Each structure stands twice: as structure tokens, then as C-alpha cells.
Amino acid sequence: MRTVRFRDPAGATRVGEWTTAGIEFGGQVYNLDAVDILPPAEPTKIIAIGLNYADHAEERNSEIPDRPLLFLKTPNTVAGHGDTITLPAGKERVDYEAEFGVVIGEQARNVAESQAWEFVAGFTAVNDVSNRDDQEREQNWVRGKAFDGAAPMGPVVADPEDVPEDATIELRVNGEVRQHSSRAEFIFSVPALVAEISSYMTLEPGDVISTGTPAGVGPLSDGDTVEIEIEGVGTLKHGVRRTDAASR
């Protein structure tokens, strides 16, 4: 099952099921063009993972970490399927990063790896949009990772049992494949990440773990259309806007 948050034609926020026929809710089927798709979760925080694919570590000229590298993206970064995000002005390079998102279902603290799946509601797609200009200059990456709209996600939350353990992850810009990998290539598994993160902070329902990106990251330009397709989840699609002289 794939659940989706949406705003119906009357303006009410609903949670329905994404099907081949449309969005089913309350005995009705809504055409996708007739509703606004909302972000699939309302996280208090997004915990993102750095260098969770060996090939991305290599392209960044970094060593493979011996424990998960954690950083935070704040609620203002959340954008949804169909949105157009505005990139920070005056920056030379702002990159796309396709990521497999884990949506937390229950409050979690000090969770053992063996119990981690009990706290996972499902999976979604995330674009960890990254302002490289500032990321390279600061240690905490606030300017680099936490600007408005820096975490498009969606379109749904897919049940874990419906997403293969080796699910493919693909990012396309204007229809051209830029990243292609698999969930099977993670350095740190979902249970390992839940256990590690929850040993430091409480995970709340709706929080999202963004599990890292594979090789192939690259810059975004004004007018780009980004699609992130994850097997079993579906395709997150969003636009890109640049308003400054650095637009390309």
C-alpha cells in the first residue's frame, strides 16, 4: 500500500491510497490532476546520512566512514511532489542528491537494530538538495543543506513489505538519467541507522531518515525538472527555479 497526503478540491487535507486509478479516499477516486499532492510526512526533523554509498564517497574523494555520518535538515526544507523549489541566490553550484527516505511511525529512543522495523512506517523518495558553495566552507552545513525547499520528498509513503530489499533508485534531470543505484548498496542498513540515531535523539512520528546518495551527483539549473524513482515507491517529481544572475 502507498499512502499519500493531499488537498482535495474543497481544500481539505486528506490521507488516501495512491492507486493506478487515482487517489482513493472515502469511497471516491480523485484524479491526480484535480488535487494538490502534499509532502508525505510532517517531520520535526530530517536526519540525513553522509557517504552511505562507497561510490559516492569515492567521487567526493572521501574515506568510507566507520560509523554513520549524521546531519540535520530542518522542517523548512520540506517540499512536495509537483512543487518548484527556488535555489539560493548567488551560488555557483547547487546539486541534486537522490535518496531513499525512511519515515518513522512511532516515537523511538534507544532502539536495538533487531527492533528497528517496529518503528518504521514506510519509505519515500527524497532529494537532498545541496548548496556546495557554502557546504565546503562550514562544518555544520546549515547554509549548505537547510535552506528553504532543500528536501523535496514524496509522493507517497510505501509500506516496507512492498519495497524490495534491492530496490532500484534512479534520478533523472529533464529525462536524462544522472544517478542509478540500489538500496542494496547501502554501507549502513536501515536498522543500523535507526539504532544509531535513536541512541542520540528521540525520533518522532513523521521524522524522516534520508539514507544517503549514490554516485552521480551534479548541479541544478534554472528550469530543470527532477524525477527520483524508487522501485516500490514511485516517482517524486519537482521543478527548479533560479532567480539570480548565476542561473544557467
Q: Are strands 225-230 and 234-241 parallel, antiparallel or unpaired?
A: antiparallel
Please check whether residues 1 and 78 belong to one and the same domain: no
Helices within the chain (DSSP H only):
54-59, 132-135, 142-145, 190-198
State residue 64's pLDDT score: 92
Residue type for 5, please? R
State residue 165's pLDDT score: 96
Between CA 214 and CA 49 the distance in angstroms is 11
State residue 244's pLDDT score: 83
Assess if residue 108 is contained within a domain: yes
Grid coordinates belonging to 90: 548567488
State residue 178's pLDDT score: 98
Torsion angle (degrees, nearest 10) of CA 198, 203, 207, 210: -10
Please check whether residues 110 and 4 belong to one and the same domain: no
Q: The CATH number of the domain where 11 resides is what?
A: 2.30.30
Assess if residue 247 is contained within a domain: no
State residue 184's pLDDT score: 97
Domain interval for residue 20: 1-38
Assess if residue 80 is contained within a domain: yes
Assess if residue 129 is contained within a domain: yes
Please check whether residues 76 and 130 belong to one and the same domain: yes
Angle at 178 between CA 173 and CA 182, to 5 degrees: 120
Please check whether residues 159 and 210 belong to one and the same domain: yes
Instruction: List, run by run, the mean pLDDT of 10-residue segments along the chain (248 residues).
Output: 97 97 97 97 98 95 95 98 97 97 98 98 98 94 97 98 98 98 98 98 98 98 98 98 68
